[in-house]
Amino acid sequence: MTIDELIAAASDRLTPVERRIAEAILADPTLLAFGTVSDLAQKVGSSRPSIVRFGVKLGFQGYADMREHARRSVSAKLSRPSQRIRQQDSSLGRATAALTEAIRGLLDKIGSEQLSTLGAPMVSANHVWILSGETSRAGAHAMFSGLTMVRPNVHLITEHSSGRDLSGAAPGDAAIVFDFARYRRHTVTAARSAVDLGVHLVAITDGPLSPYAAMTETWCALDIPAIGPFDSSVPSVAIAEMLVAYVARQLQDEARSRIDRTEALWQATEIYWE
Amino acid sequence: MTIDELIAAASDRLTPVERRIAEAILADPTLLAFGTVSDLAQKVGSSRPSIVRFGVKLGFQGYADMREHARRSVSAKLSRPSQRIRQQDSSLGRATAALTEAIRGLLDKIGSEQLSTLGAPMVSANHVWILSGETSRAGAHAMFSGLTMVRPNVHLITEHSSGRDLSGAAPGDAAIVFDFARYRRHTVTAARSAVDLGVHLVAITDGPLSPYAAMTETWCALDIPAIGPFDSSVPSVAIAEMLVAYVARQLQDEARSRIDRTEALWQATEIYWE
DNA sequence: AGGCGAATGTAACGGATTGGACATTCTCGA
DNA sequence: TCGAGAATGTCCAATCCGTTACATTCGCCT
């Protein structure tokens, strides 16, 4: 059992000071492995016996016992790199490798200037309409959830009501579509309609042969790795978050005050635990 | 200069006992970082002053000084990956570096065996209930969208109707929750209710101090990087997809036939473009 | 063989560390 | 407002650590 797990098991029985101790240990595991009781006490602004009692509460015989445990786990981590190689061909290893490669590809394929090109319409638009196919809905959702936090008039178009929802679109608006092969008929036609209405379309798709590439100049291609039997939506989510970050940076104070208002509202309605 | 290099530089001036000390340190670097003078003396079969003199010969002021040096190099090895993030300075670069690191962290923190532990309940459960907070909804959505493709009776619980929706839950079911600090009150209580109903809870959260860690043994902690002003949901989505892949692999033919049926249905309804 | 210097171990001391007994403060409820 | 019990801090004793001074042993050269 690791220290983390022991802390987790006791987390609901911890006193305030003990909770601070736990946080310090979790934030920097070397504190426990290297530090003395006095070091920890000073770090958390508490007294030495509190540290010792914390160790006892976790099931150790004393601080020395707990430190010994922490040292063993650090030793294990230090010797693990050789084991990591072995995991490389496990399915988990392959999945993370594919995802890492996909994320790295984002940086290669999409420079900072292209990020601005893609993001600009969402800064200046009156309304932003978000479209997506089934498999890429996670990206659209991330986009929607983030964008509503930093600017008004953001609409997520569900497939069932695309015709009705888009009827309010007009020139000066922007639409962003997430869709990859095989493209959804509904999504393609919705995007087409948006363009016909004079909306500036931004497309996150998978290549020049995508139907969306023909509709707009502002599009980008992502490499979509497969995780198990399905395509990953990680690249979609990643670029959605980067675009949101870009829009937030451009809108500056406007975005910040909007975030603050939402935060205040959430606090007031006690939406958070603790 | 590392300890190894210092030893190499002084190797031709070492006495027999000092040579044995050097060998012991090179064989197990943690001896220096963790051990006391007495520990080393006993390990080498020598006396304490010999250890101290060895440190002085290497250029340190004493044993304490040498040990401090060893500890710093151990800390550096443990924390080097996270420091790499900060070296990038374009916002796009920082974002991709943070995401890459987060993905790599998945492999570190979650071994193949833990993936099985987390995924097993979703293979055998009668019903699977998916819960999530606001920021982590993308992960929940990826989970839902993937899981419905490979097995029946998957339910996504929206915040507004959690009480009503969960009423059908029963022992033999599994629930998976995606939620991170600050935790959503609704989600915490919903998870609690599920546990009380005898449902096996799987929690994707952010650390041992999470309220979910106290509710179940099957949980994992993710490192959540920030992209712009918001927390990223990329790690959630990634682990959701890995879990879906795991479930699909376990269910084998059952999953495949289900995917095929869905595909056929989609083809028949001409849901795809082209 | 004897003596000299390096190498190593023994002993002692000041300081730091841990763990526990005791006192104080805080918190919650009657 | 008061009191009981938990939480936390202060203080102390026993131990252990690192360091240094001193004694002993070992090896080599004359």
Per-residue pLDDT tens for B107-150? 777 777 888 899 999 999 999 999 987 777 889 989 998 999 89
In chain B, residues 152-181 whose CB comes closer than 8 Å to chain A: none
Q: Residue A133 CA to D12 C1' — how many Å?
A: 71
In chain B, residues 222-241 whose CB comes closer than 8 Å to chain A: 227-230, 232-234, 237-238, 241
Q: What's the gap between Cα B127 and its chain centre?
A: 26
Q: Residue B244 CA to D6 C1' — how many Å?
A: 47
Residue of B nearest to A5 (CA): B208
| A52 Cβ nearer than 7 Å to chain C strand | yes
pLDDT computed for residue B178 by the predictor: 93
| Interface touch A182/B149, C-beta < 8 Å | no
B30: exposed, middle or buried (Cβ count in 10 Å: 0-12, 13-18, 19+): middle
Q: What is the mean pLDDT of residues B2-22?
A: 84
- Whether residue A105 lies within 8 A of chain B, CB to CB, comes out as no
In chain B, residues 123-152 whose CB comes closer than 8 Å to chain A: 134-135, 137-139, 141-142, 145-146, 149-150
Residue B163 has pLDDT above 80, yes or no: no
Per-residue pLDDT tens for B91-114? 677 778 788 888 887 877 777 788
Q: Higher confidence at residue B41 or residue B134? A: B41
Per-residue pLDDT tens for B192-230? 989 999 999 999 998 888 889 989 999 999 988 888 888
pLDDT computed for residue A90 by the predictor: 67
B114 and B38 in a common domain: no
Residue A167, domain CATH: 3.40.50.10490
| B223 Cβ nearer than 7 Å to chain C strand | no
- β-pairing, B174-178 vs B200-205, is parallel
A143 and A34 in a common domain: no
A143 and A32 in a common domain: no
Task: Spell A81-120 as b/e; 16+ CB within 10 A means b.
Answer: eeeeeebeeebbbbbbbbbbebbbbbbeebeeeebebbbb
Q: What is the mean pLDDT of residues B227-244?
A: 90
Q: Which residues get their CB within 7 angstroms of nucleic chain D?
A: A 15-18, 45-50, 53; B 36-39, 48-49, 52, 55, 61-65, 67
Q: Higher confidence at residue A106 or residue B53? A: B53
The CA R_g of chain B, rounded to the nearest whole Å, is 27
CA distance B47 to B252: 63
Residue of A nearest to B115 (CA): A92
A177: exposed, middle or buried (Cβ count in 10 Å: 0-12, 13-18, 19+): buried
pLDDT computed for residue A206 by the predictor: 84
Inside any domain, residue A260: yes
Encode A177-190 in three state secondary structure: EECCCCCEHHHHHH
Q: Which residue has the tokens 């790795």?
A: A225
| B47 Cβ nearer than 7 Å to chain C strand | yes
B70 and B133 in a common domain: no
Q: Residue A15 CA to D5 C1' — how many Å?
A: 15
B202 membership: H or E segment, kind and range? strand B200-205
A246 and A137 in a common domain: yes
- Whether residue B47 lies within 8 A of chain A, CB to CB, comes out as no
- By three-state DSSP, how is residue B137 classified? helix
Q: Residue A41 CA to D7 C1' — how many Å?
A: 16
Residue B81 has pLDDT above 60, yes or no: no
CA distance A99 to B140: 18
Residue after which a domain boundary falls, among A62, A79, A96: A79
pLDDT computed for residue B83 by the predictor: 45
Residue A174 phi, psi (nearest 5): -130, 150
Q: Residue A93 CA to C26 C1' — how many Å?
A: 51
Q: Give B174's pLDDT tier (boundaries 50, 70, 90).
A: very high
**Which domain range does residue B186 map to?**
110-268
Residue B82 has pLDDT above 50, yes or no: no
CA distance A7 to chain B (A): 6
The DSSP code for A176 is E
| Interface touch A245/B234, C-beta < 8 Å | no
pLDDT computed for residue A89 by the predictor: 54
B136 and B69 in a common domain: no
Residue after which a domain boundary falls, among B58, B77, B96: B77
CA distance B219 to B243: 13
Q: Give B259's pLDDT tier (boundaries 50, 70, 90).
A: confident
Inside any domain, residue B89: no
B66 and B138 in a common domain: no
| Cβ neighbours around B34 below 10 Å, total | 22
Inside any domain, residue B73: yes
Q: How many domains does chain B have?
A: 2
Q: Residue B62 CA to D19 C1' — how many Å?
A: 8
Residue A70, domain CATH: 1.10.10.10
| Cβ neighbours around B188 below 10 Å, total | 21
Question: pLDDT tens digits, chain A, 274 residues: what are they?
Answer: 788 888 888 888 888 899 989 888 888 888 999 999 998 998 888 999 999 999 999 989 889 999 999 999 888 877 654 454 445 556 777 777 788 888 877 777 777 778 888 999 999 999 999 998 777 788 998 999 899 989 989 998 876 665 567 778 888 899 999 998 778 888 888 898 899 999 999 999 887 777 888 788 888 888 888 888 888 999 999 999 999 999 998 988 887 888 888 877 777 666 666 6
CA distance B149 to chain A (A): 9
**Inter-CA distances, A57 with A7, A33, B123, B181, B209, Å:** 9, 18, 36, 25, 15
Q: What is the mean pLDDT of residues B136-165?
A: 83
B249 and B115 in a common domain: yes
Inside any domain, residue B232: yes
Identify all chain B residues contacting A245, using CB atoms and an 8 Å cutoff: 91, 95, 227-230
- Whether residue B30 lies within 8 A of chain A, CB to CB, comes out as yes
A197 and A70 in a common domain: no
pLDDT computed for residue A176 by the predictor: 95
Inside any domain, residue B103: no
- β-pairing, A226-227 vs A230-231, is antiparallel
Residue A113 phi, psi (nearest 5): -70, -35
CA distance B257 to A8: 40
- By three-state DSSP, how is residue A220 classified? strand
pLDDT computed for residue B270 by the predictor: 62
CA distance B160 to B234: 24
Residue after which a domain boundary falls, among B77, B97, B130: B77
Asked if residue A241 lies in contact with residue B230, where contact means CB atoms within 8 angstroms, the answer is yes
Residue of A nearest to B187 (CA): A273
Query: How open is the CA angle B60-B63-B64, to the nearest 5 degrees?
Result: 95
Cα torsion through A92, A96, A97, A103, rounded to 10:
160
B241 and B184 in a common domain: yes
CA distance B112 to chain A (A): 6
The DSSP code for A210 is S
- Residue A118 CB contacts under 8 Å (≥ 6 apart), including other chains: A110, A202, A204, A218, A219, A220, A243
Residue of B nearest to A67 (CA): B34
| Cβ neighbours around A174 below 10 Å, total | 24
Inside any domain, residue B13: yes
Per-residue pLDDT tens for A75-116? 887 765 445 444 555 677 777 778 888 887 777 777 777 888
Residue of B nearest to A182 (CA): B272
A135 and A217 in a common domain: yes
CA distance B70 to B76: 10
The DSSP code for A213 is G
Inside any domain, residue B105: no
